[in-house]
Each structure stands twice: as C-alpha cells, then as structure tokens.
Chain A
Amino acid sequence: MKTWQLVRVLGSLAVMALLTTGCGRGTGVTIYEPGVYKGAAYSLQSTPELQSRLQERCRLGQSDR
C-alpha cells in the first residue's frame, strides 16, 4: 500500500469516527440529589399533643366499628 493510500484510509477512518461521535446511548442512570430548600418556612409546629390528637382521630375514625 502506498503512502497516499494509507493516509486516505486513515483520514476516512478519522472522519467516520468524528461523524459517529455521540451517537451511542449511555446506560448510566442519572441520579439527582435534592437541593437545599429555598422557600419560606413551614409554620405549623409538630407538637406531641397534635401528634396524639391526629393518631387518636385516625384510630377512631378510620378503624372498623
């Protein structure tokens, strides 16, 4: 093979490689991490009294009588 033929083949391969770059599909999963909350604060405080009221209401209202 002459030199100019070798250069031509290699050049063609380089062009093909450039053209097909980025055509594949990645198999990795993108995992997002939640950022830091930037909104206003939630004002309702979760007190033990409120918790027990909600739990009692759940037991009374949603269990079978």
Chain B
Amino acid sequence: MARMKFLCDSERCIECNGCVTACKNENDVPWGVNRRRVVTLDDGVPGERSISVACMHCTDAPCAAVCPVDCFTTTADGIVLHDKDLCIGCGYCFYACPFGAPQYPQKEAFGVRGKMDKCTFCAGGPGDGTAEEQAAKYGRNRVAEGKLPMCAEMCSTKALLAGDGDVVSDIYRERVMKRDGRPQSWGWLAAYQDEV
C-alpha cells in the first residue's frame, strides 16, 4: 500500500509562492486560512533556503493523538484527514502539530474560531455527499481523479514533490546523485553552466 508524502527540495524552491496560490485557488480556501505556506530561513542572506510547508500527513500524527473528539483518520494511502462534522475547533491539534498545519477560519466576531481546516492532499474528506458538497467542505478530490495535489503539480521548479513515498524518494535520490553533492542554486555552474 502506498504512503502519500510531500517532500520540498530546498535547493530548488525559489519562494515564488506558486504552491500557496495553487492550493488556495484549487480548494477555494477562504481568506485567513493557509493550508500551505512558504517558510524562508536567513531571508536576504546568501545561502537562504525556502521550503513549502503544509500538513505532512504524519505516520503517527500528533494531531490525531490529542484530538478530544477523535475526528482524525488516516486513509489506506496514509493521508491524514479529519471529519469537520465532529471537529469542535478547540485548537489542540494546532498545539500538537510541529508544522503549524491546522488552520481556523474566523467565522464570527471576537476571534471565535471555526472548525479546523488543513491540507487534505487534495483527497477530499470523509463522509458522503455530492462532489460539490464535499468540495465546499474539504476542497477538491484530485486523488480520486488520478491526479496529485495541485501545489506539487504547479511547482515551476519541481521543488515540491508529492506522491507515493517510494516514487518521491527515487526522484529525489536521482537529483542528489546528479548534483554531485553541490547545491544547484548557488555557484558559477548555476550562472554559466558549462562555460566556466
């Protein structure tokens, strides 16, 4: 059985935020909620690195462990989903998540939180209902159509990889071998290719 995983190649990420835009557009994510975001370390300094972060669909998901209403489930493909009909928006999962993936839309005044929203690996959510109802609640179900998450498919530099963990690791391993241990983003070879 596959285990769906994300991997962001920090040597390739150019902080374009295309993945963030693609996610918001595809899943019609409301303002204030970011299922995915780009984090940059040492911004503006030579050697800066950016990575795209969202729910990592952990094997032993801490959000599921702390949820007081047990609304998290892991699909057969290793995608961590939650039932919004059960979620009470308590925020425990936000405290537990090391990536800050759970998001809470502000539904009312005075900072009242709505039900938690997070990356679904573009695999929809649990429960029955029409495709439109499911899409409105959880976002598009691209996996059912044989497609991968929109963020990864839209990544212009192919920094963000998504799919079966075995395939993703094969692709990444080939890249690292081709790089010969050197980063691709800096140095003479990046600018002048073979003319040095």
Contact = CB atoms under 8 A, between A and B. Distances in A.
Contacts of B141: 44
Interface residues of B, number: 46
B64 interface: yes
Contact of B77 (A32, A36, A46): A46
Nearest to A32: B65
B156 interface: no
A45 B123 CA distance: 11
Contacts of B72: 34, 37
B70 A61 contact: no
Interface residues of A, number: 27
B164 interface: yes
A3 interface: no
A58 B167 contact: yes
A50 B152 CA distance: 18
Interface in B1-32: 1-2
B75 A44 contact: yes
B146 A44 contact: no
28 contacts: A32-B62, A32-B65, A34-B64, A34-B65, A35-B67, A37-B73, A38-B83, A39-B71, A39-B85, A39-B126, A39-B127, A40-B85, A40-B128, A43-B127, A44-B124, A44-B141, A44-B143, A50-B144, A54-B143, A55-B2, A55-B164, A57-B146, A59-B171, A62-B148, A62-B158, A62-B162, A62-B163, A63-B171
Interface of B: 1-2, 61-62, 64-67, 69-73, 75-77, 81-83, 85-86, 123-128, 141, 143-144, 146-148, 152-153, 158, 161-164, 167-168, 171, 174-175, 178
B175 A64 contact: yes
B178 to A, nearest CB: 8
Interface string A19-48: 000000000000011111111111111100
